[in-house]
Structure 1
Amino acid sequence: MSSQGSSLIDAVNLTRELIRRPSVTPADAGAMDLVERTLAGLGFSCRRMRFGEVENLYARHGSARPNLCFAGHTDVVPVGDKAAWSKDAFSAEVVDGVLIGRGAVDMKSAIAAFAAAAARAIAAGQVRGSLSLLITGDEEGVALDGTKKVVEALIAEGEAVDHCVVGEPTSAEAFGDMIKVGRRGSINAEIEVAGVQGHVAYPHRAANPTPVLIRILSALQARRLDDGYPEFQPSNLEVTWIEVPNTATNVIPAVARARLNIRFNPSHTGAALAAWIEAEAQAACEGTRCSVTVTPQISGEAFLTEPGRFTEIVAGAVREVAGRAPELSTSGGTSDARFIRALCPVVELGLVGTTMHQVDERTPVADIERLQQVYERLIQRYFEGFAAK
C-alpha cells in the first residue's frame, strides 16, 4: 500500500475479525491467514512455519538491525458453558463500549493493536531497522509445536532478533499498571508407586503403595524451597492430583499415583528439581517391595530481563499513554516468553487480564486503542534508542 491513509489499520475492527475465527487450540479457523494477509499488506515478508498440526507465522519488515519483535498467539481456550455467555463467544459484539468475545483479552486484541501500531510506524518512516512478528497457534495448548519450535528454527538459521515484546494481558487491575520482565519456571511431575495387590487381612502377602506415596509427598512438601529471589516470590510446590484406582475396601491396591507442580524462581533449575523429586521418591521406597517411577516435564525455566534501556523504553511508553508508572513484575504463570528468552531479551505488555479464560471475556474498546498507542510510542522510542545514529 503506497499511501499512509490506505495502510492504516483499525485495531478494534481487526480484533473483532480475529475473534470471529473460532481458533480454539489446536484449530486455526482462518485466524493465521487473516494475520498474514494484514501484515503482507503492510509490506511484511511473511513466512508460515507449520510444525505438526500447528500454524505459526514469522513476519519481518526490513532486513537491518535492530530487529524489534512482537510475539503473540491466535489460539484461544474453549468457551466453556455457551449458555452462560451474555453474547455468542465468537460474535465479537460491542456492548456499551466493551468488546465481548473469546480472545478479546487473551490475546487477539494485542496482535491487532501491534499490527495497527506497526502500520503507523512504517507509514511515518520510524522503523530504522526491522519490525517482526512471531505469531503461534499453540500457546494455550501443550506448546510443543508453537513458539518453542519457531525459536529453535530461527536460532538455527541465525535470524537476528534484538528484543521482543509479548502481548500477553499483563495489567493486573488497571490498564498499564504492570508489565512482566520475568517469569518463574514450572515443572510438572507424575509419581507412580507400584506395589503388590492383596487382601487387607494378609498384608504380609502384599505391598501397599499408598503409604509409600504418602511418604514421598510428605517429604517433598516438608522442604522449604527458598525464601524468594531478587524480583521473585518464593517457589512453591503444589500437589494437584492423587489417584488410588481401587474400588474395594478389602483390597490393598496395586498402584498409587500423584501429580505435582512446582513454580520456581532462579534459585533452582528444572533439572535440579527433577533430580530432587527422583531422589526423595527412591528413598521412600527403600526397605519396601514397592517401586517408583517419576516422570517430570519441565515447562520452562525461570528468567529475568534485567532493568536497563529496553525495560525503560517499554515502561516509558506506558507512562506516556496511561499516565502511570507500571510495576515491573515476575508474578503469574508461564507464557511463551519462556522460549523467546533463548532468542533475545523479552518483556510482556498487554491488556488487563482479569477476564481472560472466563465466561464473557471482555475488554473496553478504549483499552485496545490505548494499547495501540502504547505500542506506537514503544516502537518510536525503541528505534530512537537503539537504531544507529
Structure 2
Amino acid sequence: MTIDPVALSADLIRCPSVTPEEGGALVLLQSLLADAGFECARVDRNGTPNLFARWGAKGAARSFGFNGHTDVVPVGDARAWGHDPFSGQIEDGVLWGRGAQDMKSGVAAFAAAAVDFVRETPPDGAVILAITGDEEGSGRDGTLALLDWMATQGETMSVCLVGEPTCPEVMGDMIKIGRRGSMTFYFEAEGVQGHVAYPHRAKNPLHGLVDLLGQMTQKPLDPGTAHFQPSSVQITTVDCANPANNVIPARATATVNIRFNDAHSSASLIDWATALARKITDQSGVTFALNPTVSGESFVTPPGPFVDLVANAVQAETGVAPELSTSGGTSDARFVKDHCPVVEFGLVGDRMHQVDERVPVEQIETLKRVYTRILQDYFA
C-alpha cells in the first residue's frame, strides 16, 4: 500500500507543533519511517526536537537527502480562522490548517515519496531525511544540530533537497538554487545630553545616527550579480526614548537589516559599517556601538547536473519550466550548503503564516510525484 501524502499532511497538521513544541509530529514520522525500514534517531538539542532517518547503508557512495521542518508559527487569533487551525480539515479539495503550506505538506510529500520509493525500487544507495522542529525559531538547535550530529556519526548526504514552499504562483514555476545572506545591525549612538536652546553644550547622537543611516542607504550596495538581485539595506527602527521636546538626548538606537548577495560577506559588511561609523565619529564626536547578528551567508548552487535533475523532474510532472531563483528570505538551506549541494523545491507559498493557511490537495499529490521522480532519476 502506498502512502497517501494528503492524509499524512492532515495528520501532521493535527499535531500542535508550534515552535518549540514537538506536538507529536516527529513521533508520527518516526513511526512511519521505522516501519518502512528506515534507521531513525532523535537528535534533540537544548530542548529542540529533531529527527534523522536513513534507509540504506551508512556511508553509501550515493545518498539523497531531504530536509524540512514540522514546527509552525503561532496561529494568532484562532477565532479569525474559518476552520480550526489544527483540524487538518479537507473541504472542496483544499487542506486547511497551520503548516498546510509551511511546511507539513512538504514533509509529508517527501516522506511518502521516500517510503514508497525504497519499498518499490530499493536503490543502490541511501535515502536520508533530516527533519527539524526549529526552523521557525532561531534554527541554531535544529538543522544545525542534525548536521553536527551527522558529522560525529559519519552520516553524509551527497545532495539535499529542502522542501520549503518555493513557487510564487503555480506549481513548478520556481526552484531556489541559493539564498541571499541576512544580517542585522543593532546600533547605539552616544552623545552628550543638553538643552535644545544650547546645542553647543551638547552633542546630539541622533544627528550622528541619522548621518550614519543616510550613508548606509544613500546608494545601492551593488547592482546585483549573476544569480542574485541587488543587495538591500533596510532601516527597521530608530529610537531615543526621549519624552521631552526640549532636551537633546544622550543616546539613540537604530536597527538595520541587510539582505546581501554573493558580492559581499557578513565580515565585509561589518567592516563597511564600522568604517562609516568611525568616519562619522571623527566628524561629529558621536560614538557608536555596533552589535551585528548574522542569520546566514549568501550562497548559490550553480546550474549543473543536480539542479538540472530537479528542474527536469519538476517540468516533467507539472508541465512548467521552473525559474532558477535566489529570491526570498532565508531557509535551512543556508546550513545544509556547508554539508553538500542543496536546492529547494516545494508548494506554492501564497498562504504561508497567514490566517486560514491552506493548500489544494492536488498540489500535495503533485509534489509527491515530483519528489518520487527526482529519486528515480537520481538513482537511475
TM class by shorter chain equals: over 0.9
Q: Could you say which residue in structure 1 is the equivalent of 2:8?
A: 14
Shift of the 221–170 alpha-carbon distance from structure 1 to 2, 3 Å rule, reads same
Gaps of 5+ in 1: 385-389
- State the aligned residue count: 378
Cα distance, 1:212 vs structure 2: 0.6
Per-residue deviation, residues 241-283 of structure 1 (Å, max 9, x unmatched): 1111111111111211111111111111111011111111122
Kindly state the Cα deviation for residue 287 of structure 1 after the two structures are TM-superposed: 4.3
Aligned counterparts of 2:152 and 2:191: Cα–Cα separation in 1:
46
In the alignment, structure 1 residue 68 sits paired with structure 2 residue 64: yes
Q: Match of 2:87?
A: 91
- CA distance in structure 2 between the partners assigned to 1:49 and 1:194 by the alignment: 45
**Identical counterparts, % of pairs:** 51
The whole-number CA distance in structure 2 between the counterparts of 1:284 and 1:156 is 47
Deviation (angstroms), 1:130: 0.3
- Residues 294-352 of structure 1, C-alpha deviation per residue, up to 9 Å, x if partnerless? 01111111111111111111111111111111111111111000000000000001000
Deviations 1:176-199 (A, max 9, x none): 111111111111111110222222
Match of 2:275 in 1: 279
Q: Please, which runs of 5 or more residues in structure 2 have no aligned partner?
A: none
Distance in structure 2 (CA, Å) of the matches to 1:40 and 1:348? 25
8 A contact 1:126–1:380 mirrored in 2: no
Q: Deviations over 1:82-106 (max 9, x none)?
A: 2221111111111110011110000
Tell me, yes or no, if the aligned pair for 2:220 and 2:230 is still in contact at 8 Å.
Answer: no
Measure the CA separation in 2 of the matches of 1:99 and 1:14.
Answer: 11
Q: Return the offset for 1:125.
A: 2.2
Root-mean-square deviation (Å):
1.3
1:360 matches 2:377: no
SS in structure 1 at match of 2:147: helix
Corresponding position: 1:334 with 2:338: no
Structure 2 residue aligned with 1:23: 17
Q: Is the 8 A contact 1:126 1:383 kept in 2?
A: no
Letter in 2 for 1:278: T
SS in 1 for 2:182: strand
| Equivalent AA in structure 1 for residue 130 of structure 2 | L
- Corresponding letter in the other structure for 1:32: L
1:155–1:343 contact (8 Å) kept in structure 2: no
| Equivalent-residue separation in structure 2 for 1:292 and 1:152 (angstroms) | 36
Query: Which residue in the other structure is 2:172 paired with?
Result: 176
Aligned partner of 1:320 in structure 2 is 316
Q: Distance in 1 between matches of 2:247 and 2:20?
A: 42
Alignment partner, residue 39 of structure 1? 33
* TM-score under structure 2 length normalisation: 0.96
Report the Cα distance in structure 2 between the residues aligned to 1:156 and 1:254, rounded to whole angstroms.
50
From 222, 231, 235, the counterpart of 1:235 = 231
Hey, what does 1:220 align to over in structure 2?
A: 216
Corresponding letter in the other structure for 1:111: V
Match of 1:48 among 22, 26, 42: 42
Q: CA deviation at 1:289?
A: 4.1
Matched, 1:309 2:305: yes
Q: Distance in 1 between matches of 2:112 and 2:138?
A: 29
1:295 maps to 2:291? yes
Deviations, residues 54-91 of structure 1 (Å, cap 9, x unaligned): 11111111112211000000111111222221111111
